[in-house]
Structure 1
């Protein structure tokens, strides 16, 4: 073995996706379509032809950009499925340049998440509720090394 070998690995040695047979992908689940992490909105299968496999056609919406993607492949072949996590953090502050300060479960703060540019109503309502001194929990979705605010709610004591 050479002293110069190098292996790339992701966070903690884990992958950002895992394989699943295309025939097992479900509506409202997640799948990588054209290289983008998407929520599956439609899943159809056609029977096998004379010389081929049954095919799955999957349509989904990118969870970060909202763009629609479509992909098809044999139901017996593997597709990449992104690991998608949802978190809720308490909102501490909103900076002038639209970055949030969030309180993590371990007591530390997170300050690298920006308000979404593509959802002006959510941003306007969140700012108004924060300015009126409400305690707010922000819901964040994360996949493929990206994060986005998807919603928020008021903490009711």
Structure 2
């Protein structure tokens, strides 16, 4: 008995949870074709000759903005990602990665500087010596900077 080995699971929440398709709402989140999406349009068809009412979902990937669509019977479950928003103070950037300070005064240097206009704006603010926060969105093990916020002092 003493030589049996049991694997330990990780503590914490799952990346997704099931929710009935009819309970989903516009501006909520759902997994469409394996991508975490924000629901931008949703319609329900009437019950047909062969059974279930169907829910037609249109969503935008929360990280890339790419559009995804899916149709699911209203009584079936769909996966909903656990989405978490966090604000971090920007300390600077180095080699394409941001140096961030969280609310517990811990630092992290593992988030990439976003591409495009948002990344340029962050670089400009850092170079000007501005104090500001970035919004970081986290879902299904991915994290990405999605916006800038002025610091309230």
Give the RMSD, CA atoms, in angstroms: 1.7
TM-score normalised by L of structure 1:
0.90
Give the 3-state SS of the residue equivalent to 2:70 in structure 1. strand
Deviations 1:94-126 (A, max 9, x none): 11x210010111111011000123xx1111111
The number of aligned residues is 152
Where in structure 1 are there 5+ consecutive unaligned residues?
none
TM-score normalised by L of structure 2:
0.92
Give the 3-state SS of the residue equivalent to 1:51 in structure 2. coil
1:133 counterpart (125, 129, 132): 129
Give the 3-state SS of the residue equivalent to 2:69 in structure 1. strand
Give 4+ residue runs of structure 1 displaced > 3 Å after superposition: 4-7
Corresponding position of 2:36: 37
1:20 aligns with 2:16: no
1:3 is displaced (CA, Å) by 2.7
Give the 3-state SS of the residue equivalent to 2:27 in structure 1. coil
Where in structure 2 are there 5+ consecutive unaligned residues?
none
Q: Tell me how far apart the structure 2 counterparts of residues 92 and 80 of structure 1 sit (CA, whole Å).
A: 36
Deviations 1:38-97 (A, max 9, x none): 0011111100101210000101011112211111111111100000000001001111x2
Q: Tell me how far apart the structure 2 counterparts of residues 13 and 89 of structure 1 sit (CA, whole Å).
A: 22
1:149 aligns with 2:145: yes
8 A Cα contact 1:134 1:154, kept in partner: no
1:55 aligns with 2:51: no
1:5 is displaced (CA, Å) by 5.4
Q: Tell me how far apart the structure 1 counterparts of residues 35 and 151 of structure 2 sit (CA, whole Å).
A: 33
